[in-house]
Amino acid sequence: MPDAESASAGKLNVLSEDPLCAGVFLPNTDVPVSPIGGHFIRSHFPAPQIDSSSWSLPISGEVDNPIELSYADLLAMPSHEVTNIMECAGNSRSTMQPPAEGVQWDNGGLGAATWKGVPVKDVLEKAGLKSSATDVLFEGSDSGTEPHSGGPLNYAMSVPLEKLLNPDTILAYQINGETLPKNHGFPIRLLVPGWYGMASVKWLDKITVLDHPNGGFHEMDYRIYPAADDKNDTSIQRVTTLKVKSLIGSPSRGDILKPGPHKIKGVAWSGDGHITKVEISTDDCRSWHEAKLEEPNGNYTWQHFEYDWNAVSVGHSLLRCRATDSAGNVQPMLATWNFRGYQVNSIHSVPITVRRD
């Protein structure tokens, strides 16, 4: 089923139709990977219609041997699979106070999938990197105007070479064993595992090896400015690695439960290692209890957790989850405010009511 159709069939929560931005419903995270049509979609511009038989990908810039690869050339190269959680840098933005600019995602701007493609590294090796190469610019064929862009432009982002030399960074042509659907970047997209979604450029049109970061519109847009009075931190940071985070999938906000045993289930992930602990609080943070946690499956995807809760008291409760990763990062009660509402990883709280009937 094409994504736009499954979005309208209610598998996704549609925030905007064209360009399509649609999030998952959190109870649907109780799966190893999101089914096709059930992975979030975030497009800045209308999705281009591309004919893979006439499409080709030029690789030029700081290379010894500029090349142009067809779709068939890429499919014929040795392939590699990566199971990855992708999260939009603006996910959970609507929980930020005061409100931040951008698509008002609740918590659904994420999905997990197994992607298949060709390591970017192999393609760069074919073209032969010059010693001056430091970054690579990936341009999509989609275009349009952004607030403050001052005119139309293509979606584009450069990624440092170091991240691209990791064989898990791939030019993907399949998701969960199927040809990439249009809304996920057909025919070929970049996949940068462990980073927020913005770097995984869809509808690739052109690759240019550079001797500096490109610093184009989208790259400059996905940045965090330090607080003006923070004398220790004056650096403007690019949004890159996923912050440690967890979300409760069920129960859902507003659910009415009967007194007695319930399972609190959800997912946790980090771009900085795997999750070592998820704790649950059902009493407004007075006490925290460790949940059962799934072992990591590879380096990049979510881990499910589950906690047996006995709801004895009638009334409302705030259910919360808090994850810790193997680098020792713990989710904060409130994420650091930034005006674009990026990388919000505040502790998720889900209000529910316990009622006899």
Ligand X SMILES: Nc1nc2c(c(=O)[nH]1)N[C@H]1C(S)=C(S)[C@@H](COP(=O)(O)O)O[C@H]1N2
When CB distances to Mo ion are compared, the closest residue is 88
Q: Pick what 184 binds: Mo ion, ligand X, none; C-beta below 5 to 8 Å, kind-dependent.
A: ligand X
Query: Rounded to whole angstroms, how far apart are CA atoms 222 and 239?
Result: 6
Determine, following the binding rule CB under 6 A, whether residue 251 of this chain makes contact with ligand X. no
Residue 94 binds which entry of ligand X, Mo ion, none, CB below 5-8 Å type-dependent: none
**Residue 197 binds Mo ion (CB under 5 A):** yes
Rounded to whole angstroms, how far apart are CA atoms 357 and 348?
Answer: 27
Do residues 289 and 216 touch, judged by C-beta distance below 8 A? no
Q: Which residue type does 137 have?
A: L
Minimum CB separation from ligand X for residue 22, in Å? Answer: 9
Q: Which of 69, 100, 136, 142 binds ligand X (CB under 6 A)?
A: 142
Which positions from 68 to 107 touch Mo ion by CB under 5 A, shown as an x/- string?
Answer: --------------------x-------------------
> Minimal distance in Å, beta carbon 191 to Mo ion?
14
Number of residues that bind ligand X (CB under 6 A): 19
Of residues 197 and 341, the one with the C-beta less far from ligand X? 197
Question: Which pairing describes strands 135-144 and 204-210: parallel, antiparallel, or unpaired?
Answer: antiparallel
Give the number of C-alpha atoms closer than 13 A to the C-alpha of residue 177, restricted to the C-beta side.
Answer: 3
Write each residue from 264 to 303 as x if it is in contact with ligand X (CB under 6 A), else as -, in one continuous string: ----------------------------------------
| Distance, CA of 195 to CA of 300 (rounded, Å) | 9
* Residue 142 interaction partner, one of Mo ion, ligand X, none, beta carbon < 5-8 Å per kind: ligand X
In whole angstroms, give the CA distance from residue 125 to residue 224. Answer: 33
- By C-beta, is 69 or 201 nearer to Mo ion? 201
Binding flag, residue 88, ligand X (CB under 6 A): yes
Give the other-Cβ count within 10 Å of 214's Cβ. Answer: 19
155 binds, among ligand X, Mo ion, none (CB under 5 to 8 A by kind): ligand X
DSSP 188-217: -EEE-TTB-GGGS-SSEEEEEEESS----H
DSSP 56-89: EEEEEESBSS-EEEEHHHHHHS--EEEEEEEE-T
User: Residue 189, interface with Mo ion (CB under 5 A)?
Assistant: no
How many helices and strands in the chain, by DSSP H and E? 5, 24
Residues within the interface to ligand X (CB under 6 A)? 39-45, 86, 88, 140, 142, 155, 184, 197-198, 200-203
